[in-house]
Structure 1
């Protein structure tokens, strides 16, 4: 994973429900959404979820580690920041200019068939939902989609998944892992119904996603040590401890089967019925 550094002052703070990331420009001359060490272990959650999402072939913004220079933090302009949060390297996601975060204001667009037809990765919506069930991500739901609708240079629309600080039931696997409730899933949303409610191939789509799910999780387990090697030492993460917790929780056959069951039940209850 590449390491970048800021070249000018922080542009803005995103007013989100949780991590309030920064918009910064780095020495690659791109703008990045930068998350910092405000909450313990959230940076690790972002990194591990991003790397697993890549294995799942889920689209996410490009990621990098970012060093935010202290002289680029204007405490007069942003008094809510603390210089101590930036002693450690931060986690960055490439800022996508041609994107819009999905919320209820965008729902009317999806109701138009001509617009839905431009979305070339609709099935990724359900793949992301299954990924969230497996990762116990409690922060992608009807109140907070954490999805970007991105218009590529070819004018095609794609779903990008963002913000994974609340995987592992928001607890860093301190107490094991617990199933998501139906209210914690984007399957229980009007958008899911709009995208798939009239799709006659929904059962085939679900079967294919589940089949690939087992393959993806095996690949994630095979790549776990390689992914954990990306974690900066300054984050003070006990790598062996979290490695063991991930293996004992995410990669058991029992957990995977439970994830499949929950996924199928959510689809049946909130899309097919």
Structure 2
């Protein structure tokens, strides 16, 4: 993964409840959403979550490591920032200008059939939900979709998954892994019901996603070493320890079977019924 450097002062601090990322411009003359060393282990979660999502063929913004130069951190303008947070490589996601973060203010748009027909990857919504169940992402739900609706140059709409800080039950697998509750899933949302409530092929869609689920998790396990090799030394991550934890928790047959059961149960309870 490429390492980029900033070329000018930070433009903006996004006002979020969590990591409050920055908007920066780098040497490739593109804008990036940059997360920094405020919560060190969360940078690792972002990296693992995005790399695993790519192996699932889930759309995510392009990623990179970013070095924010000290002179580009405007402490006077944003006093909540600390220079020490930028001594390590940051995690960057490409800023997608032609996108809108999904929230309750735009759910009504999806009720229009002509608008829904412009979404070429509706099934990805359920794939992302299954991914979250598997990786125990507690921060994509009714109150916080963490999804972008991206309009491509061809005028098609796509779902992009963002923000994987709170995977592993918002921890570092220190205490194992626990299944998501129904309130932690985007399946229990009006949007899920709008997209799939009248879909007569929903059972087939679910069966296909579950079949791919086992292939995707196997692909993630096969590429785990390569992904861990991406982790910067400056993050001070014990790779041997976290590899053991990931294998024991995410890739156990018991956990995968439990994820399948939860996924099917959520779909039955909140979409079909």
TM-score by length of 1: 1.00
Matches within 5 A, 1:60-139: 60-139=60-139
Cα deviation code 1:185-236 (max 9, x no counterpart): 0000000000000000000000000000000000100000000000000000
Q: 1:1-273, aligned counterparts within 5 Å?
A: 1-273=1-273
1:40 Cα deviation from its structure 2 partner: 2.6
- For residues 100 and 213 of structure 1, the distance between their equivalents in structure 2, rounded to whole angstroms, comes to 28
Distance in 1 (CA, whole Å) between partners of 2:261 and 2:27 is 46
SS of match in other structure, 2:254: helix
Task: Give the SS at the match of 1:7.
Answer: coil
Per-residue deviation, 1:25:
0.1
Q: Distance in 2 between matches of 1:240 and 1:77?
A: 40
Aligned-pair CA distance for 1:159: 0.1
Q: For each residue in 1:145-179, what CA deviation from the matched residue of structure 2 results, as whole angstroms up to 9, or x when unmatched?
A: 00000000110000000000000001110000000
SS at structure 2 position matched to 1:241: helix
In structure 2, C-alpha distance between the alignment counterparts of 1:185 and 1:112, rounded to whole Å: 24
Distance in 2 separating the partners of 1:167 and 1:138: 6
Give 1:110 shift. 0.4
In the alignment, the residues of structure 2 paired with residue 94 and residue 251 of structure 1 have an alpha-carbon distance, to the nearest angstrom, of 29
Moved over 6 A (4+): none
Unaligned residue ranges in structure 1 (runs of 5+): none
Show CA shifts across 1:19-40 (max 9, x none): 0000000000000000001013
For these two proteins, the number of residue pairs brought into alignment is 273
Alpha-carbon separation, structure 1, partners of 2:186 and 2:172: 22
Superposed CA RMSD: 0.3
1:107 and 1:101 map into 2 onto residues whose CA distance is 11
In structure 1, distance between residues paired with 2:260 and 2:215 = 13
Relative to the length of structure 2, the TM-score reads: 1.00
